[in-house]
Structure 1
């Protein structure tokens, strides 16, 4: 009888440790997210399931073109691409991205630019100071984010800049559906 109690105790202990590890990993390290909508097409598709690295920005700052998950509201997380970093001025004119007045290539948009009609803008012209907040440069601890599907994306052009406190983490690994398994590179 004592052996059965000991075995049960060992099983319960193992399960508690497993649930504890799962909770720690899910809360502080990695979490799954599902892409909802077309705003990151063609890079990400509606329904793509991805892993969010929640701890990377505790060790480093975001890089330009990182794909991040952030809290857009209390109930909704968005997935967008970091385009502008602290201290920078961002503008788009004739579908060309300018950072501090210098042209910056966006290779992930090339396919979309080639397929769009010549009369239809991909992004639409804007300057940082005309976005919500009216900043001349991006303040510390903030980034400017845009969706890859610029004509169908709720991003910094509407929401304003995203604070680092809102960012959940970086995502670059699609694990589902099976035919879309890949790591996204800038």
Structure 2
């Protein structure tokens, strides 16, 4: 084999190895993909949706109301849930008569279907380092969320879902307006 051919092959191998290492670093520390199972986030997310998740965002910042997050399931080891942050630390949340109140005001939940009733009877202040999460599907029993397991530690959040990349239909794109 000629020296020139050998050098070209080695350059290709190095390039492929660099690409693999960069991909592993990106997947481990910056972005991940999420596959939606179930309908707890319907109508925002449907079963089978595939999402990009930003893993870096909560290393440099805190979750905000309205963020769609991937979190370690508090009630099931080795399972992740996808939910929406409804209240953050020091917020007072109340669920009464089918409505969600944050700090005494009805929460504008533009992402829900009109007339959807939020089951539950909650009245609490969110502790420091915790968030209160709900699924967008508020039908009775449709979502295991903070109504069931209480506020979740921010440290259990694995990332923020930011972009739906599949299916390629009218819902393709950013998850935020």
Partner of residue 120, structure 2: 125
Counterpart CA distance in 1 for 2:120 and 2:81 is 23
2:140 aligned with 1:139, yes or no?
no
C-alpha displacement at 1:96, in angstroms?
1.5
Question: Which residue in the other structure is 1:103 paired with?
Answer: 106
RMSD: 1.5
Corresponding residue number in structure 2 for 1:92: 95
Q: Who is 1:150 aligned against?
A: 138
Report which of the two has the higher share of helix.
1
TM-score under structure 1 length normalisation: 0.86
Partners of 2:101 and 2:114 in 1: CA distance: 19
Which of structure 1's runs of 4+ aligned residues deviate more than 4 A?
none
SS in 2 for 1:107: coil
TM-score by length of 2: 0.90
Residue 167 of structure 2 corresponds to which residue in structure 1? 177
In structure 1, runs of 5+ residues without a counterpart are 117-121, 129-135
Alpha-carbon shift at residue 106 of structure 1 (Å): 1.2
Residue deviations 1:7-26 (CA, integer Å, cap 9, x gap): 12111111110001000110
DSSP 3-state at the match of 1:108: coil
Q: What 5-or-longer segments of structure 2 have no aligned partner?
A: none
Mapped to 1, the partners of 2:20 and 2:132 lie a distance apart of 37
Q: Which residue of 2 aligns with 1:54?
A: 55
Q: Distance between the aligned counterparts of 1:172 and 1:46, measured in 2?
A: 17
Does 2:157 match 1:167? yes
- SS in structure 1 of the partner of residue 111 of structure 2: helix
